[in-house]
Chain A
Amino acid sequence: MEERHRRVNVDNVPPRLGEFIIESLIKVAGFSSIGFVVLIFLFLLREGIPVFFEVEPANLFSTRWYPTFGLFGTLPLISGSVLVTLSAIIIALPLGVATAVFVREVAPNWVREILKPLIEVLAGIPSVVLGFFGMTLLAPLVRKALGMPTGLTAFTGALVLAYMALPTIISVAEDALDAVPKSYRDAGLAVGATQWQTIWRVVVPAARSGIVTAVMLGMGRAIGETMAVMMVTGNAARMPLTIDSLFRPVRTMTATIAAEMGEVAAGSVHYHALFGIGIILFLLTFTINLTAAATIFKKRRRGGLR
């Protein structure tokens, strides 16, 4: 008893206090990050919900976005965001998966050592730099190559976004390929399949759910991107209904919020409408992330192919 007491007193009490401090700091940090997300969401709701009462649904879901004149049709903005994001993913998916396969399965070790950090660097390029690049170099190229009236189009935006989503897609897809057990490859090669057949028929399908997650995360990155999109898509709030719409200007939800928030009178209908768009955007990204999370969850339950 006496010995135990001494041990407690000398060794355990000071560390316990230190531990307690550190533990509570970590707890506060952890809970506050959750708290901030909840607070942000509540703020978004508080500022955005009024628009659904102030503007009739027929106006809110019409095709004309002239917020300074009481026309709050969000359809061109939603469809603009969807068009640009989907096109970006269609461009980025094959490129990203092919790069991941190359880096993980084909490239010799030293090439992989060079490529992987380079891909990480790609993720670190500020979007405004990419936007400027797209505006001054890519847009004239697109205009001349396609013979369209202007190079500031949904397609240009999709190209820039694809480039921005690539690092995410490559890293996550590469992790997924990495988690495919070596025995799968060995089995493929052992039954006489070529390396290509093994990769394409065995390894990639085995990593499918991880690749789906990669695409979802890339999409989440793309739909929320603002600066680059605002600089290269031309921001014309037109409905992308015709076939050539991909090669015409569009206006996305993010660009609308970013461009108009600065000049809007706080508390006005327009202000609420911008936060309303924020809610719609939040719901979209939330759905995408939820789908990605569900894929991961399903995959884990099935027994651990990442």
Chain B
Amino acid sequence: MTYRRTGTKHYTLTRKFSRLVLLLSLSLTLLAACRPQRDHQGYTDAEVIENKGSDTLVNLALAWAEKYMEENPQVRISVTGGGSGTGIAAMINGTVDIANASRAMKQEEIEAARANGITPVEFTVARDAIAIVVHPSNPVERLTLQQISDIYTGKIVNWAQVGGEDRPIVLLSRESNSGTYLYFLEHVIRLGDPESDLLFSPETLLMPSSEGISAEIRQNPNAIGYDGLGYVTPDQKLVAVARDPYSPYVLPSIETVNDGSYPISRPLYMYTAGEPQGEIKRYIEWILSEGQAIVPELGFVPLK
């Protein structure tokens, strides 16, 4: 009898214990579920702005955030990269306040946002020029857009065809859905013609990072690459570009992008979910005015 009673006691103990575990895990889940909201509303002394997206923009966005937080210590801005698509998706899902993008939002993304009850608002925050780079020993100084297009579609395969040495051309590109890739394809390879269906040659090496491009350019005299002007290191040689054979050849610089003479430049965007309010609004207004002063320091081109 007594033995059996102990058994029951043991049983109730474990029952109690498992209930406790259940309760604990439930409350933990609830706590975890509450957390994101708390981050936004629980801070009384600091406003938090989440900023995420394009890797092209990430350094600039960081510089802006640091400067702004220096001037406005009550605001905390967190900046992460990950890509334009990642940032826009996060903005649509409501996990970030501002999405950085080096391309305009796609139709399917705008629809996804609408489906979530969000109307994205677009701000052009700076300009980026795409520079054509080659190995410093490459004698080729200048190319027309048409020549660059022919090189990247595989029509021109030897540097001798554009006035260089007799060497094969190795094509370098950014990854296939970085904003830089799309911009380069539409405005250089397809020469801005929306009817064109030209594509990068399948021989094109797609590099996962700007560092990948600069490392290969530095060591390979056969290579040609393109990247944002802000990411071109001094040990790569810039090529002067002309719209057509009759136009002047122009090297990319802040001046030539701003006066419109350099042919390959693009706008960079920030997106907010709906018209920005409060601190986010003040931050974006600051970026569009005073914030522009630090844009040239990062190799981008400020808005006029």
Question: A66 vs B86: C-alpha distance in the bound complex, in angstroms?
Answer: 20
Interface membership of A186, Cβ < 8 A? no
CB contacts under 8 Å to A, within B203-238, are 203-208, 212, 215-216, 219-220, 222-223
CB contacts under 8 Å to B, within A263-299, are 263-268, 270
Interfacial chain A residues near B6, Cβ < 8 Å: 5, 8-9, 13
Question: A5 vs B179: C-alpha distance in the bound complex, in angstroms?
Answer: 76
A143 in contact with B177 (CB, 8 Å): no
B84 in contact with A236 (CB, 8 Å): no
A268 in contact with B108 (CB, 8 Å): yes
Question: Assuming the A-B contacts A9-B6, A66-B199, are A259 and B85 also in contact, with contact meaning beta carbons closer than 8 angstroms in the complex?
Answer: no
Interfacial chain B residues near A306, Cβ < 8 Å: none
A264 in contact with B177 (CB, 8 Å): yes
Question: A182 vs B185: C-alpha distance in the bound complex, in angstroms?
Answer: 66
Interfacial chain A residues near B112, Cβ < 8 Å: 265-267
Interfacial chain B residues near A262, Cβ < 8 Å: 55, 82-83, 85-86
Interfacial chain A residues near B106, Cβ < 8 Å: 265
B212 in contact with A263 (CB, 8 Å): no
Interface membership of B14, Cβ < 8 A? yes
Interface membership of B43, Cβ < 8 A? no
CB proximity of A198 to chain B, nearest CB, Å: 48
CB proximity of B182 to chain A, nearest CB, Å: 7
Looking at B119-127, B168-176, B273-281, B296-304, the stretch in contact with chain A turns out to be: B168-176
Question: A182 vs B256: C-alpha distance in the bound complex, in angstroms?
Answer: 78
Interface membership of B202, Cβ < 8 A? yes
Identify B3's interface contact among A5, A17, A136, A259, CB under 8 A: A5
Closest to A6 in B: B2
Looking at A147-155, A163-171, A172-180, the stretch in contact with chain B turns out to be: A147-155
Interface membership of B13, Cβ < 8 A? yes
Interface membership of B178, Cβ < 8 A? yes
CB proximity of B126 to chain A, nearest CB, Å: 19
Number of A-B contacts (CB under 8 A): 121
Question: A116 vs B177: C-alpha distance in the bound complex, in angstroms?
Answer: 44
A236 in contact with B203 (CB, 8 Å): yes
Interfacial chain A residues near B84, Cβ < 8 Å: 263
Question: A64 vs B199: C-alpha distance in the bound complex, in angstroms?
Answer: 11
A68 in contact with B208 (CB, 8 Å): no
B202 in contact with A64 (CB, 8 Å): yes
Interface membership of B17, Cβ < 8 A? yes
Looking at A30-38, A51-59, A99-107, A227-235, the stretch in contact with chain B turns out to be: A227-235
CB proximity of B58 to chain A, nearest CB, Å: 12
B14 in contact with A20 (CB, 8 Å): yes
CB contacts under 8 Å to A, within B71-116, are 82-86, 88-89, 106, 108-109, 112
Question: A264 vs B106: C-alpha distance in the bound complex, in angstroms?
Answer: 11
Interface flags, B1-36, vs A, CB<8A=1, else 0: 011001001100110010000000000000000000
Interfacial chain A residues near B223, Cβ < 8 Å: 150
Interfacial chain A residues near B182, Cβ < 8 Å: 68
Question: A172 vs B200: C-alpha distance in the bound complex, in angstroms?
Answer: 44
Interfacial chain A residues near B220, Cβ < 8 Å: 140, 143, 150-151
CB contacts under 8 Å to A, within B180-202, are 181-182, 185, 197, 199-200, 202
Question: A120 vs B92: C-alpha distance in the bound complex, in angstroms?
Answer: 46
Interfacial chain B residues near A266, Cβ < 8 Å: 85, 89, 112
Interface membership of A188, Cβ < 8 A? no
A263 in contact with B178 (CB, 8 Å): yes
CB proximity of A250 to chain B, nearest CB, Å: 10
Question: A237 vs B181: C-alpha distance in the bound complex, in angstroms?
Answer: 15
A249 in contact with B208 (CB, 8 Å): no
Identify B170's interface contact among A21, A66, A150, A268, CB under 8 A: A150
Question: Assuming the A-B contacts A68-B182, A263-B175, are A149 and B86 also in contact, with contact meaning beta carbons closer than 8 angstroms in the complex?
Answer: no
8 contacts between A and B (CB under 8 A): A1-B3, A5-B2, A68-B182, A135-B216, A150-B170, A235-B208, A236-B206, A265-B106
Closest 5 A/B residue pairs (Cβ):
A263-B83, A262-B83, A234-B205, A149-B168, A235-B206
Binding site for A on B (CB under 8 A): 2-3, 6, 9-10, 13-14, 17, 55, 82-86, 88-89, 106, 108-109, 112, 167-170, 175-179, 181-182, 185, 197, 199-200, 202-208, 212, 215-216, 219-220, 222-223
Binding site for B on A (CB under 8 A): 1, 4-5, 8-9, 13, 16-17, 20-21, 64, 66-69, 76, 135-136, 139-140, 143, 149-152, 230-231, 234-239, 248-249, 251, 255, 258-260, 262-268, 270
